[in-house]
């Protein structure tokens, strides 16, 4: 079997990575990197919804063994949790990171060192958690990391609230896209994230991700390239599980690899919302799995 080479290696060699990194940083001076379109000058220290300026902020990094099986393998997924978020779900299970801002600023050299450290620990990939607002910073650090021997797949682990134009910067850079397609109903996304446009944004983002990388490719149990969808089941079918799976089956691929997640629980600001103030039941989770299979999705984590 031909040895796998991450896509960013070729992009580094042919100069595409450097060119795209420059373009990404230029967008920070009037930031429309994500669908919030704040328009602030992050290069001058201004911040918008994501509260992040010119430098990325990292909350933690480590081998992670609670991710999807093809990412974890034997030695774990090398997760880097970025502080702040552009979506800000009221029920976020990492509320202290996304809303409260726990973390420290990192230079591109430091971020590159983190990637290399995780690779040296044996991690099967570098897993960027909540990266939508720090695409330029990731790309700049990647240049340094490649020069120093980084050669494992990159995972873009996102809430799917991503501008297609920003995702296009990552074409030829990211190996594995892992969006969490959260909601189908714009009323629910408005209520939980103040983002009524989330369903339409997420659909277009997932289409672009699939265009770039296709279905998930797994070699010897380890994911190498492709699309992996997460979906959190919520109380009272608030997430629209069936409709999202129908979209994936009909407009993306019946071979889409999906993780249907049962771990919803009230966190953050969700306790004051009667629709969000309880965990899901076993019956709700089982009904979600039935809906997934009825809509033709069969590759389940």
Q: For residue 230, which of 133, 122, 135, 155 has the smallest C-alpha distance?
A: 155
Residue 2 lies in a domain: no
pLDDT higher than threshold 90 for residue 106: yes
Check residue 207 and give its pLDDT. Answer: 98
Angle at 34 between CA 82 and CA 105, to 5 degrees: 30
**Euclidean distance between CA atoms 270 and 181, whole angstroms:** 19
Query: What is the average pLDDT across 67-91?
Result: 97
* Domain interval for residue 163: 7-300
Spatial CB neighbours of 15, under 8 Å, sequence gap ≥ 6 = none
Among residues of the chain, what percentage have pLDDT more than 90? 94
Residue 274 clears pLDDT 90, i.e. is over it: no
The span from the CA of 168 to the CA of 165, in Å, is: 5
What is the per-residue DSSP string for 247-292?
HIIIII-TT-EEEEE------TTGGG-TTTSSPPPHHHHHHHHHHH
Q: Report the range of poorest mean pLDDT among 198-207, 268-277, 279-288.
A: 268-277
Burial of 26 per CB tally in 10 Å (0-12, 13-18, 19+): exposed
pLDDT of residue 184 exceeding 90: yes
Residue 90 lies in a domain: yes
Q: Are 26 and 37 in contact (CB under 8 A)?
A: no
Q: What is the pLDDT of residues 2-24, one digit of tens each?
A: 678 999 999 999 999 999 999 99
Q: What pLDDT does 209 receive?
A: 98
Radius of gyration of the chain (CA): 18
122 vs 2, higher pLDDT: 122
Six token digits for residue 9: 């290696």
Interval 22-48: pLDDT, tens = 999 999 999 999 999 999 999 999 999
**If we measure between CA atoms, which residue out of 275, 277, 267 comes closest to residue 100?**
267
Q: Looking at residues 118-146, what average pLDDT do you find?
A: 98
What pLDDT, on the 0 to 100 scale, is given for residue 92? 92
CATH number of the CATH domain containing 85: 3.20.20.70
**61 in a domain, yes or no?**
yes
Please give the structure tokens belonging to residue 87: 């979506």
Strand, helix or coil for residue 147:
helix
Residue pair 153/176 in contact by the 8 Å Cβ criterion:
yes
Nearest residue to 166 (alpha-carbon basis) of 43, 40, 28, 51: 28
Predicted confidence at residue 2, as pLDDT, reads 64
In the chain, how many domains are there?
1
20 occurs within a structural domain = yes
Residue 1 pLDDT more than 70?
no
- Structural domain includes residue 1: no
């Amino acid at each position: 079997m031909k040895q796998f080479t991450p896509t960013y290696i070729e992009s580094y060699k042919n100069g595409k990575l450097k060119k795209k990194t420059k373009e990404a940083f230029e967008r920070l001076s009037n930031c429309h990197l994500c669908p919030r379109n704040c328009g602030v000058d992050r290069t001058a220290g201004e911040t918008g919804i994501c509260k992040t300026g010119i430098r990325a902020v990292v909350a933690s990094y480590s081998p992670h063994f609670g991710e999807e099986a093809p990412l974890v393998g034997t030695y774990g997924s090398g997760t880097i949790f970025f502080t702040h978020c552009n979506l800000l779900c009221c029920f976020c299970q990492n509320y202290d990171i996304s809303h409260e801002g726990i973390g420290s600023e990192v230079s591109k050299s430091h971020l590159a060192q983190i990637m290399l450290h995780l690779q040296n620990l044996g991690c099967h990939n570098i897993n960027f958690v909540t990266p939508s607002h720090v695409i330029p910073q990731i790309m700049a650090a990647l240049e340094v990391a490649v020069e120093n021997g980084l050669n494992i797949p990159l995972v873009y682990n996102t809430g799917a609230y991503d501008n297609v134009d920003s995702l296009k910067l990552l074409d030829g850079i990211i190996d594995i896209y892992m969006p969490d397609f959260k909601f189908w109903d714009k009323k629910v996304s408005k209520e939980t994230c103040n983002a009524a446009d989330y369903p339409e944004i997420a659909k277009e983002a997932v289409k672009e991700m699939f265009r770039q990388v296709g279905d998930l490719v797994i070699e010897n149990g380890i994911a190498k390239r492709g699309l992996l969808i997460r979906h959190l089941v919520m109380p009272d079918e608030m997430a629209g599980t069936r409709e999202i799976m129908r979209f994936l089956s009909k407009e993306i691929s019946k071979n889409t690899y999906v993780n249907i997640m049962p771990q919803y629980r009230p966190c953050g600001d969700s306790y004051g919302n009667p629709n969000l103030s309880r965990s899901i039941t076993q019956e709700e989770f089982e009904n979600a799995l039935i809906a997934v299979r009825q809509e033709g999705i069969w590759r389940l984590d």
